[in-house]
């Protein structure tokens, strides 16, 4: 399954970069967040591939969900897809946007792939193994290596959102003592923890499950964890939440070992 996710993420990434270089219009969704041709085309590529290979596994994808298209029933196993995580970075012509594909089983992100098309960084996670690799246009995947989250360094390296930093996040960081702040966009924050570049990622701001599932899967495979503020593992497949929309996450804290 990891190989399928990787191939689909690379194909989607190529489509994203083609649109990135030629430019495109930016539309606004109902929640005022931006969406582009790149989001839509990448999602179509990923969904077509997954539905052909795994026709019995439901898919929850960001742009379909925004249009009100959701599986009637998820069951215990389903896919979560964010075809272009970091659309604001993409629109601003930054380079931190990613393609995210994850398999959730029993509420746990079990398999995940995160691909950053600009840098060619590819991360994958499955039970017991997390990997990072480089992707070169002419050679494909190269330099694949196992990664493991680290025990906390001193001072801590704290990952903070580039586009969604909140006062609550800053207040929490202040409680950690001396710390190095690393700002980066999209699901790459989880990947920095997974490859032992950073130690903690506090998120006191709204996210959706498709934003986090793939990176969370990579982090957990590398020995890290993602928990809600009460210490419980962050779960997936949250529907009929009286206080928020389907698939919305609570605040969470992701950590290395």
For 137-195, the pLDDT digits (tens) are 777 888 899 999 999 999 999 998 766 678 898 899 999 999 999 888 889 999 999 99
Q: Annotated binding residue at 211?
A: yes
Q: What is residue 214's three-state secondary structure?
A: helix
Q: Annotated binding residue at 13?
A: no
Q: How far apart are CA 35 and CA 85, in angstroms?
A: 11
Same fold for the pair 2-146 and 156-255: no
Q: What is the mean pLDDT of residues 100-111?
A: 98
Q: Annotated binding residue at 84?
A: yes
Domain ranges of the chain: 2-146, 156-255
Q: Annotated binding residue at 85?
A: yes
pLDDT tens-digit readout, 196-211? 999 999 999 999 999 9
Q: Annotated binding residue at 230?
A: no
Q: Annotated binding residue at 96?
A: no
Secondary-structure class of domain 156-255 per CATH:
alpha beta
What CATH number has the domain spanning 2-146?
A: 3.30.540.10
């Amino acid at each position: 399954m990891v190989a399928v996710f990787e191939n689909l993420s690379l194909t989607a990434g190529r489509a994203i970069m083609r649109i990135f270089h030629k430019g495109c219009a930016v539309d606004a969704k109902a929640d005022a967040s931006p969406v582009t041709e790149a989001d839509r085309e990448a999602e179509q590529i990923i969904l077509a591939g997954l539905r052909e290979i795994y026709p019995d596994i439901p898919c929850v994808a960001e742009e379909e969900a925004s249009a009100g298209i959701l599986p009637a029933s998820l069951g215990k196993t389903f896919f979560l897809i964010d075809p272009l995580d970091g659309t604001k970075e993409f629109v601003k012509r930054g380079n931190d946007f990613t393609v995210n594909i994850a398999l959730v089983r029993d509420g746990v992100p079990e398999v995940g792939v995160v691909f950053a098309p600009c840098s060619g960084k590819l991360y994958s996670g499955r039970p017991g193994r997390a990997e990072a690799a480089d992707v070169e246009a002419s050679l494909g995947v190269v330099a694949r290596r196992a990664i493991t989250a680290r025990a906390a360094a001193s001072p801590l390296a704290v990952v903070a959102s580039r586009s969604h930093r909140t006062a609550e996040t800053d207040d929490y960081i202040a409680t950690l003592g001396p710390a190095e702040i690393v700002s980066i966009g999209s699901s790459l924050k989880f990947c920095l923890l997974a490859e032992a570049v950073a130690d903690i990622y506090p998120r006191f701001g709204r996210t959706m499950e498709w934003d986090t599932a793939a990176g969370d899967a990579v982090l957990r495979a590398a020995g890290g964890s993602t928990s809600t503020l009460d210490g419980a593992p962050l779960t997936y497949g949250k529907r009929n939440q009286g206080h928020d929309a389907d698939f919305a996450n609570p605040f969470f804290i992701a950590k290395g070992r």
